[in-house]
Chains A and B, each alone.
Chain A
Amino acid sequence: MSLKNVFENWSTYRKGAEEGGYHTYEHRWTMAVNLDLCIGCNACSTACYAENNLAVVGEKRFAKGQAMHWMRIERYWDEEGKDHPENGASFLPMMCQQCGAATCEPVCPVAATYHTPDGLNAQVYNRCIGSRYCSNNCPFRVRYFNFYSYYETSWPEPLNLQLNPDLTVRDKGVMEKCTFCVQRIRVAKDKAKMENRKLQEGEFTTACAQACPTTAIVFGDTMNPDSKVGKLWQQHQVKRHVYKQTKEDPQLRGYRIFEELNVDPSVMYLDRVRDTTI
């Protein structure tokens, strides 16, 4: 955010998410997570650790609640007084929802978290001063803070050789979160630019979507008409920039978590299905 922006674009700038905000998007990176296919296996989560240089914090720090899993699989029971969970568990992969009207963005005092023309909530590690307001204001609680210099203990030699050189290892005092594998986006965009063409659907995907053994996670650019994820959103009649979906068929399974808060998440979940006719 610059002063120029404030003064020159104020009227568009203050536009709400309902009208798509003030952004002119180049891409709209989006996800769809089919909860009926999620088996809770953690492959996505571990792939994320491998791709994004996530620190292993160890038992004690994990116990304190200082772990760094950008992608976590939440497991809920809904047995409601039964002796056993007859319908199994509910698994919910939870990562940064890259909200269109992200609540983390306006509260950062130094604008370290901002909105990119790709529709991502970017986090500038170098700019972050660690006020942690963004995390407090995130309804999904998916922002993770470097409470320590985790690198000191996370990658004893030679584990450090595994670190992905495409992104940094974060030091203490900065916030981090799922980036939709922005380093992969970057590489793919650069390549497309060098070859003077548009980015194609399926050219790359995020580490979690790539690993997911059941293909529960679909990632893509909804601005690309060929994209699988865009079609899924359309199929489920989930629209952006609204806080309440008006579906022709209200039984379609697509929904966004905490949509009513008007944060415009970029992740659509599909209802878990249970066969109660057995």
Chain B
Amino acid sequence: MVIDKDINEQIKWAQINADVLRSMENPRKAYWITFFVCIAMVACAVVAEVYQYQTGIGVTNLNNPHMWGMYISTFVFWIGMSHSGTLLSAILHIIHADWRKPIYRFAEAMTTFSLLTAGFFPLIHLGRIWNFYWVVPYVSSRGIWPNFRSPLSWDAFAISTYLSASMLFLFIGMIPDLAICRDNAKGFKKKLYGTLSLGWVGSDRQWRHFRKTYLLMACFLIPLAVSVHSIVSSDFAMSIMPGWHVTSFPPYFVAGALYSGCAAIITLFIMLRYFFRFEEYMTLAIMEKTCKLTFAIAMVWTYLNLIEFAATWYGHDPYAKEVLISKAIGPYAWIFWTMIFCGSVVPFALAIQSWRRHMPTMFVVSLLLNVSMYFERWMIVAPTLSMSMEPHQFYIMYASVVQWAIVFGSFGWFGLLFLVFVKVFPSVSMYEVKEMVFHRRRLINEEAEATHHRRTGDTSGLTQPA
């Protein structure tokens, strides 16, 4: 068994600053290739959306009974994706799992950006996107309110709340790092980081308030994250459609969300490690821990899947049972079985140590897990629509190029936001890594502790030669 450390505790603080700040300067060429690919993907979606806006939703091939399609499944996918950031930054923060520290920043960014991506889909999918704001309860002379009974209006509240909270959380957590950036930047950048760091000087009072706020935000965010995906699940669970009307949907959705988020973290972990040469911070040990966490969540998800099947099977709703059977043997069977295989069998790769230390393998595995998660969302949306109560309207929908382009483009959009973020902001939390290094060092070397006992965020290290 390989025993290694979460982080090299001998690493110099100045080294940390330099490494992270360097990531904002000169990434590998692959970064720029990915960046332009993302722009091209977004362009595809923009063209498709303009066409759809002009012509009507019909160009997506949506139909009666398939009133919802890939837009909604992609929406659920992105919402799910957003949960991992909260898991890493808030939940693991509260339970003091400090190995999260080098990777939580980009996970948190992922939360925000996947929400920003997800938020597009309910809008794109609207027949009359120009009236989207009607779901918001604003005071108007007409005295008309949205329908508070509709899960879709809950969605609007839940997502906007979660988005603003997670953005705030991301920002607050970044303040000390922004100050480091400020101190190392020149010209326009100095101004930018100066403004954003809100006058952070690392004083004792500032740290005290910062810690409290951060903890408070974390506590606030956890129930929010759980509720958001529960509410998204109620888009389905609140209906009376067979296969949607499932009581276990909220936990099932949350588990699926964490699952896809963790898988995405593995993917991005590997990418960032490569792009920014973060081998020192995004260590294999942390990778292993992330993999173990993902594996555990995969098993929870599998369990909840079985619960859902069993509940349907032993329930007395013949329609739901027929939908379940059609999932396994109907037109979407190949998607269903791919989902089961990639979601419940492939994660066993995470249980094998030599595999999870092999980055290319993990990259593929993490992508497969997310394929499964995407298919899971499709399997939630589509079979019920194609086979609900009314047999006359049993029909399947083949998504048109427009639908594919917009879904495809959403990945580009997410990638673009993420790439811009990691280039503009420190994607590894410097002060927290220092904290982590400090604590590890102390555990190993009491002596070193005595020498280096300084508060994290101390910028004096910068004066040392790199």
CB–CB under 8 A between A and B in the complex? Answer: yes
Q: Given A6-B148, A128-B128, A129-B135, does the pair A65, B385 have CB atoms closer than 8 Å?
A: no
**Cross-chain contact A2 with B128 (CB below 8 angstroms):** no
A253 contacts partner chain B, Cβ-Cβ < 8 Å: no
**Cross-chain contact B64 with A129 (CB below 8 angstroms):** no
A140 to B389, CA, bound (A): 7
**Cross-chain contact A107 with B126 (CB below 8 angstroms):** no
**Cross-chain contact B134 with A129 (CB below 8 angstroms):** yes
Of A18-26, A142-150, A213-221, the one contacting chain B is A142-150
A140 to B156, CA, bound (A): 27
**Cross-chain contact B147 with A261 (CB below 8 angstroms):** no
DSSP class of A's interface residues: helix, strand, loop or mixed? Answer: loop
- Interface CB pairs A-B, < 8 A, 17: A74-B392, A76-B392, A110-B131, A110-B146, A129-B131, A130-B57, A130-B126, A131-B127, A136-B385, A137-B241, A139-B389, A141-B389, A141-B392, A141-B393, A147-B62, A172-B58, A173-B127
A78 to B147, CA, bound (A): 42
DSSP class of B's interface residues: helix, strand, loop or mixed? Answer: loop
**Cross-chain contact A129 with B67 (CB below 8 angstroms):** no
- Further pairs besides A111-B145, A127-B134, A145-B64: 9, Cβ < 8 Å: A66-B58, A109-B147, A111-B144, A129-B127, A136-B239, A137-B239, A139-B390, A141-B65, A175-B127
**Cross-chain contact A1 with B147 (CB below 8 angstroms):** yes
Q: Given A1-B148, A103-B240, A133-B152, does the pair A66, B64 have CB atoms closer than 8 Å?
A: yes
**Cross-chain contact A147 with B58 (CB below 8 angstroms):** yes
Please name all residues of chain B whose beta carbon is closer than 8 Å to the beta carbon of A173 when the two chains form the complex.
56-57, 126-129
A67 to B395, CA, bound (A): 13
B68 contacts partner chain A, Cβ-Cβ < 8 Å: yes
B302 contacts partner chain A, Cβ-Cβ < 8 Å: no
Please name all residues of chain B whose beta carbon is closer than 8 Å to the beta carbon of A6 when the two chains form the complex.
148
| Residue in contact with A148 in the complex, picked from B55, B125, B235, CB distance below 8 Å | B55
A103 to B122, CA, bound (A): 21
Please name all residues of chain A whose beta carbon is closer than 8 Å to the beta carbon of B151 when the two chains form the complex.
107, 133
Taking CB atoms and an 8 Å cut-off, the chain A residues in 25-74 that contact chain B are 61, 64-67, 72, 74
Give the interface centre of B57, B65, B148, B235 by most chain A CB atoms within 10 Å: B57
- Which B residue sits closest to A149, measured CB to CB? B56
| Residue in contact with B64 in the complex, picked from A128, A131, A135, A172, CB distance below 8 Å | A135
**Cross-chain contact B145 with A145 (CB below 8 angstroms):** no
Contact with A along B383-417 (1 / 0, CB 8 A): 00100111111010100000000000000000000
Contact with A along B318-346 (1 / 0, CB 8 A): 00000000000000000000000000000
B66 contacts partner chain A, Cβ-Cβ < 8 Å: yes
| Chain B nearest Cβ from A265, distance in angstroms | 12
Please name all residues of chain A whose beta carbon is closer than 8 Å to the beta carbon of B61 when the two chains form the complex.
64
B238 contacts partner chain A, Cβ-Cβ < 8 Å: yes
Please name all residues of chain B whose beta carbon is closer than 8 Å to the beta carbon of A172 when the two chains form the complex.
55-58, 127-128
| Number of A residues, CB within 8 Å of B | 48
A229 contacts partner chain B, Cβ-Cβ < 8 Å: no
| Chain A nearest Cβ from B377, distance in angstroms | 15
Please name all residues of chain B whose beta carbon is closer than 8 Å to the beta carbon of A146 when the two chains form the complex.
56, 127
Contact with A along B126-155 (1 / 0, CB 8 A): 111101101100000001111111111101
A173 to B131, CA, bound (A): 10
**Cross-chain contact B125 with A131 (CB below 8 angstroms):** yes
Please name all residues of chain B whose beta carbon is closer than 8 Å to the beta carbon of A76 when the two chains form the complex.
391-392
A94 contacts partner chain B, Cβ-Cβ < 8 Å: yes
- Which A residue sits closest to B153, measured CB to CB? A109
**Cross-chain contact B134 with A94 (CB below 8 angstroms):** no
Please name all residues of chain A whose beta carbon is closer than 8 Å to the beta carbon of B227 when the two chains form the complex.
none
